[in-house]
Chains A and B, each alone.
Chain A
Amino acid sequence: MSAPAQNASTRHAPAQIPARAPGPIGRFLDSDLWYNFRRSPTAMIAGAVALVCVIGSLFASWLAPHDPFNLASLSLSNSFIPPVPLKGSQWTFPLGTDDQGRDMLSAIMYGGRISLIVGFSSVLFATVVGIGIGLISGYGGGTLDAVLMRIADVQLTFPAILIALVVDGIVSAALHQLHEVTEIYVIIFAIGISNWPQFARTVRGSTLVERNKEYVMAARVIGISGPRIMLTHILPNVLGPVLVIATINLAVAIVTEATLSFLGVGLPPTDPSLGTLINNGNSYLFSGQWWITVFPGAALVIMVLSINLLGDWLRDALNPRLN
């Protein structure tokens, strides 16, 4: 048959497209997404700021000038030192100190670490739960789908912060003796559980589209089981929108955690997150020590804003209709 030979020759005749770097990193640098990123100043600035926040927080134990949790290094004589350009400031405490003499910069870095850990973990929790329910709902269909989606609808009628508050309240009360140890897990669970419906609905919608595509039927014809089709065929094809929601949700989760901590139902003062720091400084706002609350607040805004801008950019970059 001449057809295949002809076919092969036409395919190899034209000069190869510029050689691409091998491996996943090479593929990423070659991708539309990276090209798009390099073209968007907003995304680059937001990415850089977010990177600084993440590195500063995650490596706080090495980067922070002081250890705000080491009681031995704290001295009450250092309390209420104002931030640097002001009168009486010291370069050892560039952003000033709080009522206990803790360095604000270090406290913010350690607090940011807790905020990020809680944010990431709760988004991960919501993503796993949401993807699981969305896949089962979309692929299974029928009554199960109807029941799961009505539950999601009901939950979506309440503000997420309210759900988190209620869940946090109930679980904390049930575990009150272990409060200090378990609080971080409780808050991750509470924020995660308040956000799963968004993921579930998105995944379900994409699953409904994918499950009727012919590649899924091809897998069904040879007898691949439902769970396997969901995990190996459908899941990789519905992850795009999930990534976008997860990024935007990370910002929301961090703010939710800060809100809960600010309201005093979140993380305890022994393990302060940005919200706890803001709450702590709030009482000194009108006695002149504004920096105790303003700097953690500014850090929160910068972190959340940069993540949000990244999420917005990602949503646009992954939207095939805009490209």
Chain B
Amino acid sequence: MADSPAPLFEAEHVTRVFDVSGPWLQRITSGEKRRSLRAVDDVSFSMSKGTTLSLVGESGCGKSTMARMAVGLYAPSRGKIRFEGEPLSAARADARLRRRMNMIFQDPYASLNPRWRVSRIIAEPIRAFGLLRSAREIAARVGELLLQVGLQPSDGEKFPHEFSGGQRQRISIARALSSEPEFLVCDEPTSALDVSVQAQILNLMRDLQRRLDLTYLFISHNLAVVRHMSDRLGVMYLGRVVEIGPADEVFSAPLHPYTRMLLDAIPDLSMSGRSRTPVAGEVPSPIAPPPGCTFHPRCPLANERCRHERPEYTLSGAMLVACHAVAEGRRAA
């Protein structure tokens, strides 16, 4: 993973546990034990400037939790996150470093304050960091940002409800860009949009990345979207990154059985005759994950070892994989 000498963003053995036990009184009366949910489990990765790392996975695999930890909305229970070599909490306390990270959210209907005009929404980071002082400069900058995301400067006078989902997502992007960040965490920025609008937003994001040299941590459950965006790709399953490597390689030569299962499930328009295995089974409850490799109940290659022993990472080419079968070279048909 040391493809760059000074990574912009690093996560090292990051774990986040949520306490999901019932209320205290209920626990006492019914003799229930404390329950915890390990949303993110020992995740490590690093990102260099100007690249995109995507994290994909099914619902509940911890990708949104990881995104929120990356900008400091949640603190990791264990492990370290570094931004520009500084621990994240120190980076968050320093306004100059905090300014350089921002986030784009999933739901364009909830991510803009309905009582604020668009210009005030976009100007909030500018005012918060004191980037520009005079009202005229701020207004000019807001207009510029609106143009940059394909809206009109006059749209700043309107309220969010006057826009469509795609337009709102553009406003969200303009807000995220207004603090002139370098690192953007995108938590499923297109999953609430129509397919045609998704493409517009993704193209806009790629275009902005090229022009502004942005670094994206891109969270998605949609492999097609991820393919469009990523340099590197991590596949998450029940809180763990089971496979991470260059996006092209993950798509062309997936190693982990889960990645292969996901890729097999993408509709294949060319009808190449590739044998497809449908995605089988449900994600087990993260409150009581299966022992050993958490994927074993759904894995076609699982054996006795997978049921008991948790797989560590093995390096295979440029890819890191956590799978006994791959490590042992057990490749089923």
User: Is this pair of chains taken from one and the same complex?
Assistant: yes
Instruction: Identify B128's interface contact among A4, A5, A7, A223, CB under 8 A.
Output: A223
Inter-chain contact A222/B98, CB cutoff 8 Å:
yes
Instruction: Identify A217's interface contact among B105, B115, B179, CB under 8 A.
Output: B105
Instruction: Identify A221's interface contact among B102, B152, B166, B207, CB under 8 A.
Output: B102
Inter-chain contact B95/A218, CB cutoff 8 Å:
no
Chain A binding surface SS class: helix
CB closest chain-A residue, reference B163: A11
User: Within 8 Å CB of A5, what residues of B?
Assistant: 150
Chain B: minimal CB distance from A275 (Å): 39
Chain B: minimal CB distance from A314 (Å): 18
18 new A-B contacts at CB < 8 Å, known A221-B101, A221-B103, A237-B113 = A3-B200, A3-B203, A3-B204, A4-B150, A7-B167, A7-B200, A214-B110, A214-B111, A215-B111, A215-B113, A218-B172, A219-B124, A221-B102, A222-B124, A222-B128, A233-B113, A236-B113, A236-B115
What does the 1/0 interface line of B134-166 toward A look like (CB < 8 Å)? 000000000000000111100000000000001
User: Within 8 Å CB of A151, what residues of B?
Assistant: none
- Decide if A224 is an interface residue (CB 8 Å cutoff): yes
How far is A186 from B151 in the complex, measured between Cα atoms in Å? 56
* Given A1-B150, A214-B106: A222 touches B129 (CB 8 Å cut-off): yes
Q: Which residues of A contact B (CB under 8 A)?
A: 1, 3-5, 7-8, 11, 213-215, 217-224, 233, 236-237
Inter-chain contact B73/A221, CB cutoff 8 Å:
yes
Contact-residue size bin, chain B (C-beta under 8 Å from the other chain): 35 or more
What does the 1/0 interface line of B242-273 toward A look like (CB < 8 Å)? 00000000000000000000000000000000
User: Within 8 Å CB of A237, what residues of B?
Assistant: 113-115
User: Within 8 Å CB of A4, what residues of B?
Assistant: 149-151, 204
How far is A80 from B112 in the complex, measured between Cα atoms in Å? 65
* A-B residue pairs in contact (CB < 8 Å), sample of 28: A1-B150, A1-B204, A1-B207, A3-B150, A3-B200, A3-B203, A3-B204, A4-B149, A4-B204, A7-B151, A8-B152, A213-B111, A214-B106, A214-B107, A214-B110, A215-B110, A217-B111, A218-B111, A218-B172, A219-B124, A221-B71, A221-B101, A222-B128, A222-B129, A223-B98, A233-B113, A236-B115, A237-B113
Q: Which residues of B contact A (CB under 8 A)?
A: 68, 71-73, 92, 95, 98-99, 101-103, 105-107, 110-115, 124-125, 128-129, 149-152, 166-167, 172, 175, 179, 200, 203-204, 207
User: Within 8 Å CB of B172, what residues of A?
Assistant: 218
Instruction: Identify A222's interface contact among B150, B152, B179, B207, CB under 8 A.
Output: B179
User: Within 8 Å CB of A223, what residues of B?
Assistant: 92, 95, 98, 128
User: Within 8 Å CB of A8, what residues of B?
Assistant: 150-152
User: Within 8 Å CB of B125, what residues of A?
Assistant: 222
User: Within 8 Å CB of A224, what residues of B?
Assistant: 124, 128
